[in-house]
Amino acid sequence: MSNIWTITKRELYAYFSSPIAYVTTAAFLIVQGYVFYIIIDQVQQAGMDVALGNYYTLFLLIFYTAMVTMRLLAEEQRSGTLELVLTAPVRDWELVIGKYLASVILFLLLIVISFYQPLVMMRYGEPDLGTMASGYLGFFLLGSALLALGTLTSTFTSNQVVAAIISLGLCILLLLVQFVSPQVASTTWGQILNRLTILYHYFDFLEGLIKVQHVVYYLSLVAASLFLATQVLQARRWR
Amino acid sequence: MIEVENLTRYYGPIRAVHNVNFQVAKGEIVGFLGPNGAGKSTTMRILTGYLPASSGTARIAGFDVFYDSLEVRRRVGYMPETVPLYPEMTVQAYLNFMADLRQLEDGKHAVGRAMDACGITPRARQPIGQLSKGYRQRVGLAQAILHDPEVLILDEPTIGLDPRQVTDVRELVRDIGQEHTIILSSHILSEVSQTCNRMLIINDGQIVASGTPDKLTEQVQDQDRILVRIDGVSDLQAISVLKRVDGVLSVQSIEDGAYSVSCIQGSDNRAELARAVVEQGWNLLELGTMKMSLEEIFLKLTEGATIEDLTGGPLAEPGMEMEEEEYV
C-alpha cells in the first residue's frame, strides 16, 4: 500500500513541477466556465444538467482526461525510468494504481475548483442540493473511468501523443456509440450497445438518481482498465 | 551469491544471450566485457528481474530472479546504462522517492550516506535535469547503493564520463566492492582489468573466456615473446644474429633498435639472447619478456573465436605492450 502512495506522490510532484497540471486545469476551467455562463444565460435555470450535462463539457472532459493521463506510463517507458522503478521492489499493479490515483487526485482538485458554479446557482436560484451532489458524483465517476482508460492507453506506447490520440479515439467512440444506437435500439444488440456507452450511465446522476448499476458500470470500467494496464506492463516480460 | 545456468534470451528471432553459465562468489567484483550488442545489458536485465530469460535459470542469494523477483529486487542495486532519471526532480527528492520505494526504515540517513559516498551532497537541491552527465551518473550510482544491497549491478558505469570522473567512479566502485558483490559491464578493457577481480568476456551472447586478467593472458598466449633493445646496430645485422639463437622462431623490429623475438613456448631464451648480443660486442640496453596485451586478447576473443581456437592459433600481430613487472 505504501508503495502506491509513494508513486502517487511522485506523480503529483511531476504534475505540478511541469506546466501540465496548470495548463490542463486552467484550460478546462476557462472553457467550461464560459460554456456554463452561456447556457445559464440562455436557459435561466439552475440545475446540474445545465452545468455538467451539456456535450461541450463532456467533450472537454474527454480531452482533459486524455491530456492528463497520456504521459503517465508512456513517459516512463520513453525515458527508461520504468526500468529503475520496476527493478525496485514494486509490483506492476502498484505502479499502475499509484499513477492512476495521482490523475484522480488532480481531477478531484479540478472538481473542487469548479464548485464556484453551484455557488453561483445557489446565489441566483434554488437548485436541489441532493441532485447537485449526485450530479457531481456522476461527473466524478465518469471522469474516473475516462482517466482509467487513459492510463491504459498510456501503457500501449512510449509516445505521449500516440497515447493521447488512442485515448481520445477510444473515449469518443464510447461516447458516439450513444448516437448510433437509437437506429438499432430495438434490437437486442442495440440494447447491449447502448448500455455499454459511457453516457448511458451518466444522465441518471444528473437527475438525482444514484443507481447501483451505474456505479458498478463505472467502477468495473476502472477496474478492467487498470487490470489490462497491468497486463500490458507485464507483457514486456514475454516480448 | 549469483548463479547463472544455461541462460538464453531471444528478442523475437534474435538470440541475444546464448547458454550463459557463470557464478559469482560473495565479495567478488566481476567485469562483463564485450563489444556493443554482445548481450551484456540483456544478461544484467535478466539478473535484475526486469526481463525474463527465454530459458535457463539465474539465482541471486538463493532466490530465483523470475519466481522470487521481489526478494531479488530487495537485494540488488541496479544502475542501468544511460541512467534514466526524472529530470524535474531534485537529487534529494529523487533519492527520497527511491528510498520510499525500497521502504527503507531510516530513509533520510540512507539518502545522506549515499549522497556522501557519491560526492553529490552539494548538488542535493538541484533538479536532475540541470546536472551534467557525470553528476547524473553519480545520482544513478547513489540510487543503486541506497539500500546497501548485497549485489550491485552496474551497466557501463563510466560511459560518457571525462577521465577525471572515470577515475572517481572506479575508485567508488572499488570502495563499495569491499563489502558488496559487484557485476559491472564495460567495453573498455582497462577499466575491467583495473577494477575487477575477474573478467567474463562475452561475444555474440556467449561467454568466450573468463578468469583473472593474468590467467587470460596466460591462456591465450601461444608463444613467449622477448623484447631486446640494442644500441647502434643496423636492423639487418641485429635480426640475423638474434635469429640464430636456439629456440627463436622469428624476430621483428618494433622501433629503432628494439626487437620482438618470438620463441618456442616455455623455453626461456633470455640468457642465450643476452649472450649472443654481448658476444657481438653490442650494447644490450634492455631485455625482458613481453606479454600479449589484454586489448589484443580481447580483440582476438571477440572476433568470433573461442579460447580453444586461439591457443595454437596464428601469431598475434605486432604492437605488443610491455608489462613492467615482467622485466628482469
CATH of the domain at B301: 3.30.70.100
Task: For residues B125-147, give the mean pLDDT.
Answer: 89
A12 to chain B, any CB pair closer than 8 A? The answer is: no
Domain check: are B148 and B173 in the same one? yes
- Residue B290: pLDDT over 80: no
User: What is the predicted pLDDT for the residue at A137?
Assistant: 93
Q: CB-based contact (8 Å) between B84 and chain A?
A: yes
Whole-number Cα distances in Å, A220 to A141, A163, A181, B175, B193: 11, 22, 22, 53, 57
Contacts of A38 (CB under 8 A, 6+ apart): none
Q: Please state, in angstroms and rounded to a whole number, the distance separating the CA atoms of residues A147 and A85.
A: 22
Residue A111 has pLDDT above 70, yes or no: yes
Note whether B233 and B176 are same-domain residues.
Answer: no
pLDDT of residue B223: 64
Facing A88 at nearest CB: one of B11, B51, B98: B98
Looking at chain A, the whole-number percentage of residues with pLDDT higher than 90 is: 45
Q: Which three cell numbers stand for residue B158?
A: 563510466
- For cell 598466449, the residue is B221
Q: Do residue B113 and residue B244 come from a single domain?
A: no
Q: Which domain holds residue B192?
A: 2-211
Asked if the model's pLDDT at residue A195 lies above 70, the reply is: yes
Helix, strand and coil in chain B, % to nearest 5: 35, 30, 35
What is the model's pLDDT at position A235? 82
Q: Residue B153's domain is classified under what CATH number?
A: 3.40.50.300
Considering only the beta carbons, identify the residue of A7, A17, A83 that sits closest to B84. Answer: A83
Cell (9 digits) for A73:
506510463
- Which pLDDT belongs to residue A154? 93
Residues from chain B contacting residue A9 (CB–CB below 8 Å): 97, 100
Average pLDDT of B152-168?
82
Q: For chain B, what is the radius of gyration of the CA atoms?
A: 24
pLDDT of residue B316: 37
A49 CB neighbour count, 10 Å cutoff: 15
Residues forming a β-bridge with B29: B182
Do the beta carbons of residue B139 and residue A84 sit within 8 Å?
no
| Whether residue B239 sits in one domain with residue B169 | no
Mark yes or no for CB contact B80/A80 under 8 Å. Answer: yes
* Domain end point (choices B211, B240, B255): B211
Terminal alpha carbon distance of chain B: 40
- CB–CB of A84 and B98 under 8 A? yes
Please say whether the beta carbons of A160 and A236 come within 8 A.
no
Does A228 score more than 90 pLDDT? yes
The verdict on B284 and B313 lying in the same domain is: yes
Tell if the CB–CB gap between A81 and B86 is shorter than 8 Å.
Answer: yes
Please indicate, yes or no, whether residues B155 and B26 belong to a single structural domain of this protein.
Answer: yes
Q: Which of B153, B186, B211 is the last residue of a domain?
A: B211
Of all residues in chain A, what percent carry a pLDDT higher than 70?
A: 94
- The average confidence (pLDDT) of chain A is 87
Q: Per-residue pLDDT tens for B223-274?
A: 677 888 888 788 888 888 888 888 788 888 877 788 888 887 777 778 888 8
**pLDDT over 60 at B112, yes or no:** yes
Residues 64-93 of A with CB under 8 A from B: 79-91
Chain A hits for B145, CB-CB cut-off 8 Å, are: none
The predicted pLDDT at position B174 comes to: 82
How confident is the model over B185-199, as a mean pLDDT? 80
Q: Name chain B contacts of A6, Cβ cutoff 8 Å.
A: 97, 100-101
Same domain, B131 and B260: no
Indicate yes or no: CB of B86 within 8 angstroms of CB of A238.
Answer: no
| Interface membership of A1 toward B (CB under 8 Å) | no
Q: What is the pLDDT of residue B312?
A: 37
Judgement on whether residues B165 and B56 belong to the same structural domain of the protein: yes
Of B85, B141, B50, B83, nearest to A86 (Cα)?
A: B50
Backbone φ and ψ for B172, nearest 5 degrees, come out as: -60, -45
Q: Answer with the one of B173, B191, B211 that is the final residue of a domain.
A: B211
Cα separations in angstroms, A146 against A26, A27, A168, B1: 19, 18, 10, 47
CB contact under 8 A, A84 and B78: yes
CA dist., res. A126 & res. A134, Å (int): 16
Q: Does B13 touch chain A (CB under 8 A)?
A: no
Residue B10's φ and ψ, nearest 5 degrees, are -110, 140
Closest C-alpha among B41, B63, B53, B45 to residue B7: B53
> What interface predicted TM-score (ipTM) does this complex get?
0.85
| Greatest CA separation for chain A | 60
Our CA angle for B294, B300, B304, nearest 5°, is: 140
Chain-centre distance of CA B219, in angstroms?
17
B199 and B262 together in one domain: no
Query: Is the predicted pLDDT of residue B323 greater than 60, yes or no?
Result: no
Contact in structure between B232 and B313 (CB atoms under 8 Å):
no
| A84 contacts B84? CB cut-off 8 A | yes
Q: What is the CA radius of gyration of chain A?
A: 19
Chain B contacts of A235, Cβ < 8 Å? Answer: none
Of A42-51, A192-201, B215-224, minimum mean pLDDT range: B215-224
> How many other CB atoms are found less than 10 A from the CB of residue B292?
22
Residues B47 and B184 both lie in one domain:
yes
CA distances from A184 to A169, A178, A187, A191, B294 (A): 22, 11, 6, 8, 77
Q: Is the pLDDT of residue B321 over 80?
A: no
Q: Does A14 touch chain B (CB under 8 A)?
A: yes
Q: Report, as an integer, the average pLDDT of B84-108.
A: 91
In this complex, which of A79, A90, A236 lies closest to B101 when CB atoms are compared? Answer: A90
Q: Which of A153-162, B170-179, B200-209, B316-325 has the lowest mean pLDDT?
A: B316-325
Domain count, chain B: 2
Same domain, B157 and B252: no
User: In terms of domains, do B132 and B251 share one?
Assistant: no
In the block, which residue shows the cell 648480443? B277
Out of B38-42, B61-65, B256-260, least confident range: B256-260
